[in-house]
Structures are given as structure tokens and as C-alpha cells.
Amino acid sequence: MATTQTIDVGEWLSDRFKALVEKIKAHLEEYDINRQEILHKLSLILIFSGAFLIRIIAVAFHNPVIIKAFDPHMQLRSAEYIKDHGLIAFFKWYDYFSWYPYGRDVGSSMYIIVPLTAILLYYILHLFGINVSLAVAAWYAPAIMGTIGVMFGYLLAKELISKRAGILVAILLAVTPGYLSRTTGGFFDNESVGVMLTLMTLYFFIRALNRDSIGSGIMAGISLALLSWSWGAYRFTVDLLPLYVLVMMISGKANYRLLKAYTTTVGIAFPLMIMIPRINGDFVYTTDGMAPLFTLILLILFLMFKNLEQELPKTEFRKVVVVTAIVISLIGIAAFSLLVYLGVVENIGQKFFNVILPTVRNNIPILDSVSEHLPMSWGSLYTNIGVMTFFIPLGVYYALKKPTEKNIFLLTYSLTTIYFSGSMVRLVLLLAPAAALLTGLAADNLLIPYALASHGKIKITKTTMNLPTIDSSHAMWAYFLVGMLIMTMVYSGTNTAVERFGTSEIYPSVNAKDPNPFSDWVDALAWIKAHANYHDAIANNEKPPVFMSWWDYGYWITADGEAVTLVDNGTTNSTQIGVVGAMLMLNMSLALPLMYKYGVDYVVVNSAGGNPSVGSDIGKAIWMIRIAEKNAPQFGIKESNYWDDKEGQYKDPFYESVLWALISYRTPEMSGDAPIVKFDNTIIRNGKDKVVTHLDYFVEVFRSKGLDPKQEGQYPWVRIYKVMYPENIQSMVAHLEELLAKGPLNLTYPTST
């Protein structure tokens, strides 16, 4: 008789469940690397998404989608021209409405990549049925380029250091103010694309070197060419690569992989670089253009001698090296000197020479007048790169401790950017990625022991200090501290994006979160467009009205107001900027005939309610004086006559100037109660007693609403005056020419109305 076997269902299910769990655990352990990869990729998605959102966060606070700063308005104007007329027509575009009466050859003086990015984004969005204007596409383009730059920062760190460091570098670049400042929504200018292409070039160059890849070298060359089409600071990258090659040769680490990567990059880049008019073939004959080619020759010779060293005895080899070095040096110096003497080789541009030797900058007031061209202070350094400031020395230490070809590149890149950004604060854009890379290297070296210990892969003890074994709890605290530093950067970067970079200079506000920013400049430009734009004048066969203002507002007036200007932010004609400064600083009797000669019809002044600390022409007047003295000395403007350096205030001649008359003019309806902002602060403390109440030759045609439209009697932000030339203006012109024929004016500053 068969025996019946009973089965415990509960036990059976329990055994099967345990077996299934063990099987799943074994399966997961088998694919442990894949889990890490998934987590890694999710982290990157979050970082890149966060980088983009931070750059467009201003939209969340109801700020208008409007182009920022000054230069981006010309970039948008160029994009519109390319869209309407085509790229070939753009290269032939001569703009008669800038730098009147001379005009400007825009096609040969503009970098083209920035306008093209907006056009490309515009057509991509329309392809997917998202109908936006070109201006809106231009607003979002910098945020997209900045996010792509974060991606290439990650790839560069991954190639130079590790994937862990890549994650940290990506987080830092996503929120670092030094990089955020030029890649937020609306900052549609060269830097937004330039930094991204710089990182792209460096990544592909290092990739070509590490992997001995011709394809990556070709991509590095294309990236470098695109960089040269987009930003004037391409010279940094063009000369960074040969500098790295020189350092590698001096350290004895140069090899054929370096020759292949460098030759491919330079060989592809240079022919493409000279294809656009902004650079053209003349670049090859500049000092910074010849450096990469000269270094290529040295690298070839170095590798030849390295091979020769193995073939010859030491004594003979040394003789060959010494003789060859002397001969090549003498020939090179003689040839270079001859080319410079004959004018074949151009010197480095003054702006870039100032970066190399910042002590000469005092001779160029037109550069010093731009705050971002000044040397960087400690406070500015910390504001732009935050806690990375403290990791830079540690990163340099670890790179020096292990001078591999990767670390030598990192040192060359970082140390040059530290020096150059110290010379010019604007170049913190190049320092920010380098600082992030050094921080990534430092953090990676600091956390490796803790990471290995927490996974049980090593057991580190510090017996000499009687400390316990490093375990997972120590690793937790190490990661916690680094995490807190990252969170500090994230909070600071996000807050900075809203408070500092969330508003446009053309649409300012007291608080970046204020949904109602001041529209004074927007209203002024709308008035110009409606009453005095060049299109209407040309349609009616009339001379377009000419606007005079300080050069800061030239692009706004031309691009947004569609009006003719004497000067703009291109600063391509320093003499004319000096003449405009003189016209604003001279008294009426001397300024009027000069304005007449230049055909000035309207004058725009930025009084900012009489407050010099918010970018008004009162604060900028000192630069008008200095630039006029330097670049238009024939008009007798001297800083010593206008400015009391000891007291820190303007002297009486300033209060006789056209600028002061137009800023301080108090109309009859303003004559009752005292204005909201008085002209009695430090640099114009005497201004309250010198307010002008009558004008003979100027009529105010536009006055912005001011800081508080409900209050009467206040000084406005922007004022526009029409020039009313007297009947005897021709004799005034003749008299001025007579005076100038005798030499520089000797100003006596007669009192004028």
C-alpha cells in the first residue's frame, strides 16, 4: 500500500520565496556595475536639467523675456539681418546707421556663431510647431549653450580625472556664478557660446591625446575653428595648446601621440579659422597666430632629437643639440624681428596685451571704463567661484604631486586662467571651468580612501596617531561635508541667478523678483522708434535723425530704437568716442558747433534720477573726460580741470558742460517742491547749487516716468533733447575751426545758459 506524503504548503512557499530572493540578489550582484551606471546617468540627467532651469529661472519671477546687457542687442540685430537677407549678404553688410557719418563694416567685424545659434534654434522650434519670435529664441539660446557647456565640462573632467570628478564638475559648472553670468537666459553674446566651445575643444584634444584618436583630433580642430568664429578670447585656447606642448617638451614627456593630436587639431583649425572675414588670413601673421605653428616645428625637432639620442653617443648628441639650438634660435629671432620690422607680423592686440601685462592698462582709459576689464579683487574672485576658491590650492598640489600628461595639462590650463582672470575680471569665465576641474581633482583624491573603505575594499589604519580604522561612518561624514559644500554652491548659484542675473539692464528693477521692473529705457527707445527712426526718414527721402549719447547706449538706440548713432558698444573708433566725450564735456558755445559738424539732431542722457551709483552718466562722466583727453586732445579736455582727485568730486568746469545742463535741467513743473533725488552726493555735492533752469538750444522731447510716477517734481531716468541750432551756427563753426587750427583749445569755461 502506497504511503501518502504530506506537503507543508507554508514551508514550501517560504523555501521558494527565499530561493527567489537569493536568485534576485545574485542577479543584482552580477549587474552591480549596471546599477551604478544607471544611477550615474540619472544623476547627469538631473544635473543637466537643473543647469538649464537655473539659467531660465528669471521667467518664474515674471521678468519679461528680454535681451540683457548691451552687446547682445547687436547680436540679435545681426541675427535678424541674416534671417532676412542671408549669410552671404551679412558678410557684405555695411551699416550706415552706426558710427555716423562713417558707418561700420559689420560683416567683417562681427563673430557669426552667436547670431547663427539663435537662427538655428528658431528654425528647430518652428520645425516642431513651436512658433516663437527670433528674439525669444535668442533669449533661450545662452541657457542651452550654457547647459551644453556643463556637459562638456563633465566629459573633460571624466577624461582628465574620473567619472566621480566629472559629476562634481558638472554640478559646480551648473551653479557657479562665474559661468552663470554669461549663460543665463537673455545674455545673447559671444561668451555664452565661447566658453562651451572652449571646453569642447579641450575635451576633444585631450581625448585625441589619451586615445591616440585622429577622429577626436579632427573634432578638436573643428571646435577650435568654431570657437574662433564666435569669441575674441579664442586666442587663449589657440595659444594654450602650444603652451602645453612647450611644457611637455620641457618636462621631457612629449611623444608621438601629442604630435598627432596637436598637428591634427592645428591643421584642421587654421584653414577653417581664416574663412570668415572677422579673422581672415591676416591672423596667421599675428604674434599669437604664429605661436602654434612655431611650436609645431619645435615639437617635430624635439621628437627627432629624442630619436637621435638613442643612436648617437652622449657627447656627440650634446654637441648636436647645443649647436642646433643656437642656430635655430638665432635664425628664429632674426626672422621674427625682420617680419615685425617689415610689418608682416602684427603685434598682439592692446586688450590682450593688457591681460598679459596688466600694468600698462592705465594708458587706455577706454578699456578701463568697462568694469569687467579691470583686475579682479579677492571679493570678486569669491563672488564668482565661491568655495572652489579654497579647493584650488589643493587641486594644484595633487596635480604637482603626480605630474602625468593629464595633470600637466590641468596645471597649464588652470594656472594660466588664474593669472589672466586676475588681470581682467571678465576672464573669470575661463577660470570657472578650471577651478571646477581643480576642485574635482582635489575632492576625488580626498574621497577615494573613504570610498574604498566604505565598500570594504581596503582597510586603512593610522597607527602612528593611535586613531581607529577608517570605516563607513568616516566615509559618511566625509561625503556629508563635501555634500554640504555642494549645497552651499547650489543655493548661492540659484540665488545669484535670480538676484544678479535675472534682470536686464534695459529693464532694471530694485528687486529681481519684482514683477514690475522700470520701463524707462524701453519707453525711451519706443519713443525714438516711433518719432525718429531711420526707416521712416529714408522712405520720405530725408536725412535720418542722428542721436548722440555716451557709447554705452549706442547698440540700444540703433538696434531697438532703429536710429542713427555716432558711437556704440563696438568701440571700434576710439577717436570718435573721444569726440563724443568732448561734446558732452564742453560748454554750449563750443559743443554746439561740433554737434552741428557731426549732424547731431537729438541727445540722449541717462540721469538715473541724479544718482551716479546706478550707472548714470554722472558717474560715467569721469570716463568721458579721460577718453576725450586721451583720444581727442585737440579739444582741451583735461582730467585735472574737471576732477578733484583729492576731494573725490567734480570741479566747476563739469557744471558748465552740456551733459550737466541736460541732466540737471529743472523744467517749470519741477520747480516747486524739491526733487526726490537731490544732486548733493559725494562726487557732485555742489550740484544742488548748480541746477540749470533755462535752456536756449535744447528742447526736452521725452522724459521717462522716473522711479515713482505718482510723485511730481522728481528727476527722470532717461531724457531726450532735440538740438535747436541758432541762426549764427555757421559762424560758430568757423570760429571753432579757427581755434582748432591754432592748436589744442585752451578752455576758459565761460558761463553758458
Confidence of residue 466 (pLDDT cuts 50, 70, 90): very low
Contacts with 743 (C-beta within 8 Å, 6 or more apart), sequence order: 634
Contacts with 568 (C-beta within 8 Å, 6 or more apart), sequence order: 74, 98, 99, 551, 554, 555, 557, 558
- Would you say residue 751 has pLDDT above 60? no
Higher pLDDT, residue 226 or 376: 226
What is the predicted pLDDT for the residue at 673?
55
Higher pLDDT, residue 186 or 1: 186
Q: Is 257 helix (H, G, I), strand (E, B) or coil?
A: helix
Q: 564 phi and psi, to 5 degrees?
A: -85, 135
* pLDDT tens-digit readout, 391-400: 899 999 999 9
Is residue 487 situated within a structural domain? no
- Would you say residue 338 has pLDDT above 90? no
Is residue 695 situated within a structural domain? yes
- Would you say residue 504 has pLDDT above 50? yes
What is the predicted pLDDT for the residue at 685?
77
* pLDDT tens-digit readout, 200-253: 999 999 999 999 999 999 999 999 999 999 998 898 999 999 999 999 988 888
Q: Are 161 and 184 spatial neighbours (Cβ–Cβ below 8 Å)?
A: no
Q: Are 600 and 652 spatial neighbours (Cβ–Cβ below 8 Å)?
A: no
Is residue 580 situated within a structural domain? yes
Is residue 718 situated within a structural domain? yes
- Would you say residue 276 has pLDDT above 80? yes
> Other C-beta atoms within 10 Å of 640: how many?
10
Specify which residues 718 forms β-bridges with: 606
Q: Are 81 and 90 spatial neighbours (Cβ–Cβ below 8 Å)?
A: yes
Is residue 337 situated within a structural domain? no
Given the DSSP bridges, would you call strands 718-723 and 698-703 parallel, antiparallel or unpaired? antiparallel
- Would you say residue 60 has pLDDT above 70? no
* pLDDT tens-digit readout, 686-744: 777 788 888 999 999 999 876 665 555 577 889 999 999 999 999 999 999 998 888 88
- The number of domains in the chain is 1
Angle between helices 428-454 and 472-499 (to 10 degrees): 160
Is residue 350 situated within a structural domain? no
> Model's pTM, two decimal places?
0.86
Is residue 221 situated within a structural domain? no
Lowest-pLDDT range, 298-302, 356-360, 394-398, 618-622? Answer: 356-360
Confidence of residue 72 (pLDDT cuts 50, 70, 90): very high
Residue span of the structural domain in which 662 resides: 573-741
Is residue 688 situated within a structural domain? yes
What is the predicted pLDDT for the residue at 227?
96
